[in-house]
Amino acid sequence: MSRPAKILIDLGALRHNCQLANELSPKSKTMAVIKADAYGHGAVQVARALEDLVPVFGVACIEEALELREAGIDTPIHLLEGAFSKDEIHTAANNNFSLAVVNYEQKKALLDHQFDKLNQQLIKVWLCVDTGMHRLGIQPSEMASSFHELAACSHIQNDIVIATHFACADDLENDFTSEQFRRFQKGMNDLGSQNLSHSVALSLANSAALLGWPKTRAEWNRPGIMLFGSSPFAAPHQEADKLLPVMTFKSGVIALRDIPPGETVGYAATWTAERHSRIATVAIGYGDGYPVHAPTGTPVLINGHRCPLVGRVSMDMITVDATDLPDICLGDEAILWGGSLSSYLSVNEVANCAGTISYELLTRMPRRTPREYLG
């Protein structure tokens, strides 16, 4: 038997979540955002599982896009941060990667691109507008002029997408999403008052907006985290609660001991037993992707029962108070997040305990922990 630490990836659940994204907005097209190794789920395997459900994948950089091409995936791919150099524009055009245009420099580089008619494909672009996130994108007041410059360029494809990104869509009470939406519409009105020889498609929604802000659903939606079954919302939500968890992070009990009250557990002796306690040692640690900041009390599912983590997280092990599980045995299963619908611990709950977000926990899973794909 090998060390029991494992990451199980349920590709059936992934497809279910992607179908939900498609069904929520049946007239839209879905760009499945699979940057950061598909949020830690394995980009190639995830792309293969979603190939027949979406027309485009979104990634953060050309290296991520080329990894998919080298694995034989021929679906169009979008580079969400655009091209970082002239070489990348060239490579993108020849590999059917569309490019975000996120600032004036990228726009200029694209317009100035030395285009070789015989050997190159036309470039597909997404013009990004900064409606308040203040991270990437051109100003809404320059939407119309930038659009026309790109549209007039003979080596750019004539179906340009105009996109923006929301800062607060995961907070359904926050008016800022509507404010960003208004700013975007204002830019579109300026554009609409001029004659368009090119077609314009719009893209606004990430997972939170697609699930929770129906007016932001447009020609293209860009869900990421929801594909992996993690709700973007803190509270229960009618649509988000239909998502199925894709990743199960699990290991097993490798040691058991009984300690008297007053004994401490783990590095820095941060936890002291208040009663006769049974401590289960589970073979998982921060070296496997379990968050080092998970405090005492963070739930761990042992044989389907929630038990509290006690003491510090080590590199390869955690300690759990299993006093209330009298039948626990060596080798019993411990689930850190995920599981089955009957006994399930959400990655959001663990992330909350550890003072982080599900996105971070999922994307930084290390190579050491073996992944197994189901379905």
Ligand X SMILES: *Cc1c(COP(=O)(O)O)cnc(C)c1O
> What burial letters (b/e) apply to 30-55, b meaning 16+ CB within 10 Å?
bbbbbbbbbbbbbbbbbbbbbeeebe
> What minimum distance in Å lies between the beta carbon of 102 and ligand X?
9
> What minimum distance in Å lies between the beta carbon of 98 and ligand X?
13
Looking at the DSSP bridge assignments, the partners of residue 59 are: 79
Nearest residue to ligand X, by Cβ distance, number only: 224
By CB under 6 A, tell whether 33 contacts ligand X.
yes
What would the two tokens of residue 245 be? 């968890």
Query: Using CB under 6 A, which residues numbered 66 to 85 contact ligand X?
Result: 80
* Binds ligand X by CB under 6 A, chosen from 207, 231, 319, 363: 207
Instruction: Report yes or no: 39 and 226 within 8 Å, Cβ to Cβ.
Output: no
User: Residue 304 carries which side chain, given as an amino acid letter?
Assistant: G
Decide whether 65 or 225 has the Cβ nearer to ligand X. 225
By CB under 6 A, tell whether 294 contacts ligand X.
no
| C-alpha separations of 72 from 37, 54, 67, 76, 372 in Å | 16, 16, 9, 12, 21
Q: In residues, how long is the chain? A: 375
> What minimum distance in Å lies between the beta carbon of 48 and ligand X?
20
DSSP state of 369: S
The stretch near ligand X (CB under 6 A) out of 47-55, 205-213, 253-261, 308-316 is 205-213
> What minimum distance in Å lies between the beta carbon of 224 and ligand X?
3
Decide whether 203 or 251 has the Cβ nearer to ligand X. 203
SS3 call for 290: coil
Instruction: Report yes or no: 40 and 363 within 8 Å, Cβ to Cβ.
Output: yes
Decide whether 9 or 80 has the Cβ nearer to ligand X. 80
The site string for ligand X over 253-292 (x = CB under 6 A, - otherwise) reads ----------------------------------------
By CB under 6 A, tell whether 223 contacts ligand X.
yes
By CB under 6 A, tell whether 224 contacts ligand X.
yes
* Binds ligand X by CB under 6 A, chosen from 30, 206, 281, 363: 206
* Binds ligand X by CB under 6 A, chosen from 41, 165, 183, 250: 165
Rounded Cα–Cα distance for residues 56 and 85 (Å): 22
SS3 call for 112: coil
Decide whether 202 or 317 has the Cβ nearer to ligand X. 202
| C-alpha separations of 176 from 169, 173, 234, 301 in Å | 8, 9, 17, 38
* Binds ligand X by CB under 6 A, chosen from 225, 325, 328, 365: 225
Looking at the DSSP bridge assignments, the partners of residue 201 are: 161
| C-alpha separations of 300 from 183, 234, 305, 321 in Å | 45, 20, 8, 10
Number of Cα atoms under 13 Å in the Cβ half of residue 235: 6
SS3 call for 278: strand
> What minimum distance in Å lies between the beta carbon of 60 and ligand X?
7
> What minimum distance in Å lies between the beta carbon of 101 and ligand X?
13
By CB under 6 A, tell whether 230 contacts ligand X.
no
Decide whether 75 or 314 has the Cβ nearer to ligand X. 75
Instruction: Report yes or no: 11 and 245 within 8 Å, Cβ to Cβ.
Output: no
The stretch near ligand X (CB under 6 A) out of 8-16, 63-71, 221-229, 307-315 is 221-229
Instruction: Report yes or no: 227 and 21 within 8 Å, Cβ to Cβ.
Output: yes
> What minimum distance in Å lies between the beta carbon of 38 and ligand X?
11
Decide whether 227 or 280 has the Cβ nearer to ligand X. 227
Rounded Cα–Cα distance for residues 88 and 203 (Å): 23
Nearest to 137 by CA among 95, 183, 91, 194: 183
Residues with a catalytic annotation lie at 35, 267
User: Residue count at the site for ligand X (CB under 6 A)?
Assistant: 12
> What minimum distance in Å lies between the beta carbon of 216 and ligand X?
12
The stretch near ligand X (CB under 6 A) out of 41-49, 138-146, 181-189, 202-210 is 202-210
List of residues contacting ligand X (CB under 6 A): 33, 35, 80, 165, 206-208, 222-225, 232
